[in-house]
Amino acid sequence: MTYCIKTGCLDPKNDNAARFCKSCGSKLWIRDRYRVIGALGRGGFGATFLARDQRLPGYPACVIKQLRPTTDVPNLLDMARNLFQREAKILGKIGNHPQLPRLLDYFEMAKEFYLVQEYVSGSTLQKEVKESGLFTEVSVKQFLKEILPVIQYIHSHKIIHRDIKPANLIRREQDQQLVMIDFGAVKDKVSQPTVDPTDQAALTAYAIGTPGYAPPEQMAMRPVYASDLYAIGVTCIYLLTGIPPKDLPYNAQTGELLWQERISVSSHFSQVLVKMLDISVHKRYQMAEEIIRDLEVEPYLDSLAQNLSFATPGPDTNNQPSTQPTKSTQPTTRTSRSARIAATIRARKERRLNNSTHYKGKERRLNSSTHYKGVERRRRKKYTAQSLIDAYAKGYRDFSDQILTQLDLYKQTFADARFAKANLREANLTSVDLSNTNLGQANLTRAILKNAKLVSAYLADANLEGADLRGANLSKANLDSAKLDGANLCGANLTGATLSDAQLATALTNWSTIQVDGRRSLLQKIF
């Protein structure tokens, strides 16, 4: 179908090959290049259409935004035009980020403005909640892990999005990454008021944002970086409750949303949400990295609670008494609680990243003794699905050698975890996020990995015989010497994956399977 975008056209639907509208006679192809195939949305300032670029091979899909105000008031026309030009400028400035849509074209024609950008195929988080149900605390934390670096990137370019909400966050179909769309409300050129050089207030000519997601200072035309963080906090509440903010009760005196009784999350995560949603902009998180830091600290709070009540030990690493003055004799040597937590986290990460030197000193002696083997045996246990999910939520990442057969882990997140030599036979891993996960030598016989995210996963020597990998994203995964006999790879994405033709020949593929070189398979195997 070719769609007519002429205002007032009574029958905009035309045949694919049509070049002029059969109803109103208008020219159909925009700029003799873009063939509109349907409408995506309409608003006071214009409309959005899905189109195909007829000049490029394969006629790739794209999104066309047309400035079409429904008013003749000069001031409103100027405002609409300014917003549209601003969006084009911003997309051109920051659109090279993989989780932001790219600007493809921008032009004016017949006193109307057109913006062409990358089409993101997938479902919005709003649709995801309605169709698949509420997010768990673990899922919301994973959402924050994915989206906060994007916000950090936007803010680093001195840009405030101002319309972050579930409907403007799309989970891209091909790689399951979150993509932030709709930059029509952005504010760039953050200005520094002379009254306070530390204030990040950005004065703007228009109060823009979605009611409920926009904080008070934004609706008062004074958005700051923290305004976007408030919107992310409200989005978290929606993901956990499925209730739009306009339907949530609020404190009539302060305007604060009352959400605590509607969700059940850990104490620490509740405190993070409270700080994100503080009505007072001065008490709220100021930058995305502050939230990231607090989320990274959470898994270590229980184990560090006792240690943090003491002063940081001296530099001696041989378990000798410290020669540094005690807290009572030299209080100025005390370090802050967050600094001590950060130091401990860094130390733990370094130990995990260097397995070859992990067992130095006393631990090295354990490695060569039968006692160490006993320790390893005691570490192995029979996880349930919930206990595994809970362990990951608390920060545990190493599940090597564990018995995890037939566990139902549908749509969970275990990114960056270790399942080396783990037994995951017949486990339900449908739509599970296993990005950057170590599954080397794991037993995944007849495991269900349909639509699983295995980007950059390590699967060398893994047993995937009879596994269901339909639609799985295995881009850049290492499948060296993995057993793929009878594995169903129909529709899987193997772009950049490490595996041989001989391995692939033992698996089931079809025309929609994306090969290592990024091309779709020409063969269809039916067994």
One DSSP character per residue, 246-286 reads GGS-B-TTT--B--GGG----HHHHHHHHHHT-SSTTTS--
Backbone phi, psi, residue 371, to 5°: -65, -40
Give catalytic status of residue 163 as yes or no: yes
- At residue 75, the 3 state secondary structure works out as helix
Provide the 10 A C-beta neighbour count for residue 327. Answer: 13
Burial of 330 (0-12, 13-18, 19+ CB in 10 A): exposed
Beta carbons of 477 and 493 less than 8 angstroms apart: no
Q: Which residue has the tokens 């008013």?
A: 71
Please give, one letter per residue, the 3-state secondary structure of 32-59: CCEEEEEEEEEECCEEEEEEEECCCCCC
CA dihedral 144, 146, 149, 155 (to 10 degrees): -70
Token output for 381: 């246990």
Rounded CA-CA distance 327/516 in Å is 59
- AA identity, residue 141: K
Token output for 247: 């339907």
First to last CA, the chain: 37
- At residue 346, the 3 state secondary structure works out as helix
Beta carbons of 277 and 256 less than 8 angstroms apart: yes
Rounded CA-CA distance 453/319 in Å is 44
HSE (side-chain half, CA atoms, 13 Å) at 260 = 13
Angle ∠(150,152,154) on CA atoms, nearest 5? 70
Q: Which residue has the tokens 């305004």?
A: 227
Rounded CA-CA distance 257/277 in Å is 8
**Distant-in-sequence, close-in-space partners of 237: CB < 8 Å, separation ≥ 6:** 243, 245, 248, 257, 259, 263, 273, 277
Burial of 76 (0-12, 13-18, 19+ CB in 10 A): middle
Angle ∠(412,348,354) on CA atoms, nearest 5? 95
Given the residues 15, 105, 163, 302, the one annotated as active site: 163
Catalogue the active-site residues. Answer: 163
